[in-house]
Amino acid sequence: MPDALEPLISADDIQRRTDELADEIRREYGDEPILLVGVLKGSLYFLADLSRRLGPNVTIDFVQVSSYGTGKTSSGVVQIRKDLDINIEGLHVLIVEDIVDTGLTLRHLRELLGTRHPQSLRVVSLLVKPEAMQHESTVEYVGFSIPTKFVVGYGLDIGERYRNLPYVAILSPSEP
Ligand code: IMP
Ligand code: MG
């Protein structure tokens, strides 16, 4: 049996919300340059759509961290797989996340990037699971709060599948 996908957030709703987030971010940063730090690979589509709405004064870099294996449960271990290419000292850094679940990944990333003396350090996440947030982690800009369910699409995967769905869906895997 194939996995069951239950649509949760439509492609249109994602685009509308991304417009609003970009407006909010630009209102607060003014014309200041912003370095977007995309967290690979899940933030891929959100970063692409958000960045194109933030005007010309934007640069982009990436980090890759892993806290999950290929399945659905957190290993509790956060590891940097790919670090930033550029020096962020004195820059306005905006971390772009796909989803904040336990908050462990984000806490770790904030700590790490904070030691490099950016001028400011904030986070925008398309999705947050508030019930699951076990670790103190601030998300300044939230796209959608969702229930504590496993979701895929618009960058989010399970075992590298479903990232390219244009919408976000709740995944109920088929029984083996
Ligand atoms: P956290 O450290 O528990 O906040 O989770 C961090 C990472 O786990 C996210 O950036 C995602 O890559 C992954 N993750 C958490 N929840 C989901 C989900 O529902 N679907 C897909 N990936 C998820
Ligand atoms: Mg992620």
Tens of pLDDT, residue by residue over 2-22, are 789 999 999 999 999 999 999
Place of tokens 């509308």: 16
Which atom of ligand 1 lies at the shortest distance from residue 150's CA? 19
Please choose, from the candidates 61, 136, 139, 58, the residue with its C-alpha nearest in 3D space to the C-alpha of residue 97: 139
Q: For position 60, what pLDDT does the model report?
A: 98
Indicate if ligand 1 lies below 6 Å from the C-beta of 91: no
Q: Which residue has the higher pLDDT, 172 or 116?
A: 116
Kindly state the average pLDDT of the residues 56-73. 80
pLDDT above 90 coverage of the chain, percent: 78
Kindly state the average pLDDT of the residues 143-153. 96
Q: Which residue has the higher pLDDT, 164 or 134?
A: 164
Ligand with smallest separation from the Cα of 63: 2
| Span 73-126, pLDDT tens digits | 555 667 899 999 999 999 999 999 999 998 888 988 999 999 999 999 999 999
**Catalytically annotated residue among 3, 13, 85, 101:** 101
Q: For position 79, what pLDDT does the model report?
A: 84
Contact status, residue 96 vs residue 90, Cβ threshold 8 Å: no
Q: For position 127, what pLDDT does the model report?
A: 97
Provide the 3-class DSSP secondary structure of residue 17.
helix
Q: For position 30, what pLDDT does the model report?
A: 96
92-100 and 34-40 beta bridge pairing = parallel
pTM: 0.93
In this model, does residue 131 exceed pLDDT 80?
no
Q: Please report, as a single letter, which amino acid is at residue 59.
A: T
Q: Which of 43, 44, 68 to mutate to test ligand 1, by most ligand atoms within 8 A of the CB atom?
A: 68
Q: For position 73, what pLDDT does the model report?
A: 59
Q: Which of 156, 165, 167, 168 to mutate to test ligand 1, by most ligand atoms within 8 A of the CB atom?
A: 156
Residue nearest to atom 5 of ligand 1 (CA): 101
Averaged pLDDT of the chain: 91
| Other Cβ atoms closer than 10 A to 33 | 12
Distance 67 CA to ligand 2 centre (A): 9
Indicate if ligand 1 lies below 6 Å from the C-beta of 103: yes
Kindly state the average pLDDT of the residues 44-59. 97
Tally the residues of the chain.
176
Distance 35 CA to ligand 2 centre (A): 18
